[in-house]
Amino acid sequence: MADTQLASPPTRSTSSAERRYRKRYLGVTIAGEATSPANFFQILRARIPRDISFPFRVVKSRRSAGLVELSAVALPQARRCWNATGIHTYRTFGTLRKGKVWLRGRGGPKPEP
């Protein structure tokens, strides 16, 4: 009897996927500071101790609120670093769409051009 190939390869569910590569979107506010999107990343980076490193990127920001993309594994470390330095981290979103809805409600109206 010949070896038969499966019709389709087995798939992984999202819950069992490689956890470190799953993106998460973290809602963040910088207390008392209204900042431009360009400065938002610099403020977050400056508040991480030099001996700690994790990749992140600012997806979107409005005034003092922003949405940060990072891996699921880096999430607890990011929360510890930023919450200890006056940056408030809110809930985590699994999809960018849900994070943008949160940001729309947090950042207030769009500034006039």
CATH number of the domain where residue 86 is located? 3.30.70.3250
Alpha carbon of 77 to those of 52, 63, 73, 74, 91: distances in Å? 9, 24, 8, 5, 14
Question: Is residue 97 domain-resident?
Answer: yes
Question: Is residue 12 domain-resident?
Answer: no
Q: Which two tokens stand for residue 16?
A: 């069992």
pLDDT band at residue 112, thresholds of 50, 70 and 90? very low
Question: Is residue 3 domain-resident?
Answer: no
- The number of distinct structural domains making up the chain is 1
Range of the domain at 38: 21-106
Q: Average pLDDT, stretch 78-101?
A: 89
Q: How are strands ordered across the β-sheet holding 23-30?
A: 56-62, 65-71, 23-30, 87-93
Q: 7 pLDDT exceeds 90?
A: no
Question: Is residue 69 domain-resident?
Answer: yes
Question: Is residue 51 domain-resident?
Answer: yes
pTM of the model: 0.70
Q: Average pLDDT, stretch 25-40?
A: 80
